[in-house]
Amino acid sequence: MAALQVLVIGAGSIGRRHAENLASLGADATLIPWRGYSAQLLATRLAAGGVQGVVIATATQIRLELIAACGAANVPFYVEKPLAYQTADLALIAAAAAPVAERSLIGFMMRYHPAFRHLAGCDLSNTYRFGFEIGHDVTQWRQNWKFSQSYAARPTGGGVLLDLCHELDMAACLIPGLVLAGVDSVGHAGFPGVDMSSQIRLKSGAATGDVALDYLAPVSTRRIALRGTDTLYDFDLITERYGVTGRGAQVLEFPFARNDMFLAAMADFLALAQGHAPGAVEHLPRFDLALPGCALIAKAWEARRFVGTITKDIP
């Protein structure tokens, strides 16, 4: 059987990772830098036939036209998160993607993290308080990388809420029915309109909590805390210490390699693109199924209220 032909649009670090993973899974991946490319060129390529899937790893604000080209050509796609940062744009994207929504995937790869998958299999219905946190020093993020020259520094489509929105998506999966209660953000005088830290207040029935995201923490942090009437979960995804207390105490172990999540997500995309059943992940980030989380992200971005600025030197 011939290898599945997949176009990967966007040749940054994430696009290159996806292309390599596709190749390792047996697909024929063509990596296309966005510079010099266009939605019209994609539409022409898809109309010519032979392409069975598209991976969209471009900046957020140019994804609508690419998704529309895929929908019009009936070619499924895998699109990086966040899907959109404004609810009006999200509605347009959802309409454009409708013909292939059940065969397409959104890149919420943290849904494949074994610690998250464990929580997804637990009864969390008696949760009354929750917290999701991620933070790191953006000046120490990657080698040969400057915040000021990245997508993250843009007032539209940038900022920590969109960049690190996996935590908000995980919250939406584990605590159904979340309603936004407010967003307090901290900015930077050098980057107007860009949130360096955001605290998103949420509620669902009797459960209240927040999602905290920042570019400022001197030591990388990533934690999930869930408080229930019979069980407390304290998961530290950086140190990989996963504690459960309440009716019996235990420390869990979830050994994994980071790329395993990307591989699993891409394997599910290839299965969907071919009309096959995906893997057994608890919250499959299939396009149509993941839209509620995407809507929460867009609403949170629109609701940001800047309450102050920081003076940290960010090149």
pLDDT of residue 139: 86
Together in a domain, 162 and 37: no
Residue 87 lies in a domain: yes
pLDDT of residue 94: 98
DSSP bridge pairs for 231: 246
Together in a domain, 26 and 96: yes
Residue 281 lies in a domain: yes
Residue 292 lies in a domain: no
CA pair distance 92, 107, nearest whole angstrom: 19
Together in a domain, 280 and 303: no
CATH classification at residue 151? 3.30.360.10
Q: For the segment 216-275, what is each residue's pLDDT rounded down to a tens digit?
A: 999 999 999 999 999 999 999 999 999 999 877 899 999 889 999 999 999 999 999 999
pLDDT of residue 163: 95
pLDDT in tens, the chain (315 residues): 679 999 999 998 999 999 999 999 999 999 999 998 999 999 999 999 999 999 999 988 889 999 999 999 999 999 999 999 999 999 999 999 999 999 999 999 999 999 999 999 999 999 999 999 999 998 887 667 789 988 889 999 899 999 999 999 999 999 999 999 999 999 999 999 999 999 999 999 999 999 999 999 999 999 999 999 999 999 999 999 999 998 778 999 998 899 999 999 999 999 999 999 999 999 999 999 999 999 999 999 999 999 999 999 998
Together in a domain, 87 and 117: no
CA pair distance 306, 296, nearest whole angstrom: 19
Q: Degrees (nearest 5) of the Cα angle 255, 258, 259?
A: 125
Together in a domain, 87 and 203: no
Together in a domain, 281 and 232: no
CB-side exposure of 130: number of CA atoms within 13 Å? 30
Q: Which of 169, 210, 171, 216 is nearest to 195 (CA)?
A: 216
Together in a domain, 212 and 117: yes
How many independent structural domains does the chain possess? Answer: 2
Together in a domain, 105 and 117: no
CA pair distance 9, 22, nearest whole angstrom: 13
CA end-to-end distance (rounded Å), the chain = 50
Together in a domain, 60 and 159: no
Residue 17 lies in a domain: yes
Say if strands 207-214 and 179-188 run parallel, antiparallel, or are unpaired.
Answer: unpaired
Together in a domain, 90 and 179: no
Residue 291 lies in a domain: no
CA distances in angstroms from 298 to 66, 86, 292, listed in the order given: 19, 5, 10
Residue 24 lies in a domain: yes
CA pair distance 22, 28, nearest whole angstrom: 7
Together in a domain, 155 and 39: no
CATH classification at residue 279? 3.40.50.720
Residue 159 lies in a domain: yes
The domain in which residue 39 lies consists of 5-109+261-286
pLDDT of residue 56: 98
pTM higher than the cut 0.85: yes
Together in a domain, 27 and 68: yes
